[in-house]
Amino acid sequence: MVEIVEQELHKLYTLVYVLNKDKTKILLGLKKRGFGKGRWNGFGGKVEKGETIEQGALRELKEESNLDAKNLEKKGVIYFKFEGDPVIMDVHLYTTTDVSGDLIETDEMLPKWYNVSDLPYSSMWPDDPIWHPWFFEGKIFTVKFFFKADLETITGYKHKFASSVSELDAINLDS
């Protein structure tokens, strides 16, 4: 008998959550086009050839909001697997309270500050309410979400916490 194993293809993405100094407010952007259109999210996108993941995160934040971040703090990695699609999205999550520049609406994002206690979850990715409590408690984590091809329905997830960012790379969610 021949076992057919689906090859996974990983693609690198970033996601930056900008918070105010006392971490009561978060800056979200309403995605105006492309993947995730109509959803409020942090700022980020694909990591380009020749740049580090952190450089990609800074570039995407600038492109989508016009803000420059001084200190990005890594908080985790979120993997997304969609039924029937061999691509795994590896989304590297960062946060900062330290930004400069004039916040503007861009071609891709309409920015808006939200109270952390009152986020527009009905217009956000359905995985957000699952990992947000970990993020807002300051945890470092890795999580893999399994979605149906409709990009809406989560069929399952597995996660682990890390005690430091350097531990993240060594975490195996399948063990």
Closer to ligand LR5KHM72 by Cβ: residue 78 or 162: 78
Shortest distance (Å) from residue 80 CB to ligand LR5KHM72: 5
Alpha helices in 9-159 (DSSP H): 53-65, 128-136
- What are the residues binding ligand LR5KHM72 (CB under 6 A)? 13-15, 34-36, 41, 44-46, 60, 80, 89, 91, 125, 127-128
Strand partners, 111: 29
Pull the structure tokens for residue 21.
Answer: 């100094």
Shortest distance (Å) from residue 131 CB to ligand LR5KHM72: 8
Q: 142's torsion region: left (phi>0), alpha (psi -120 to 50) or beta?
A: beta
Closer to ligand LR5KHM72 by Cβ: residue 22 or 90: 90
Shortest distance (Å) from residue 101 CB to ligand LR5KHM72: 18
Shortest distance (Å) from residue 100 CB to ligand LR5KHM72: 21
Closer to ligand LR5KHM72 by Cβ: residue 21 or 133: 133
Residues 6 or more apart whose CB falls under 8 angstroms from that of 175 comprise none
Closer to ligand LR5KHM72 by Cβ: residue 3 or 137: 137
| Contact (Cβ atoms closer than 8 angstroms) between residue 39 and residue 125 | yes
| Contact (Cβ atoms closer than 8 angstroms) between residue 166 and residue 154 | no
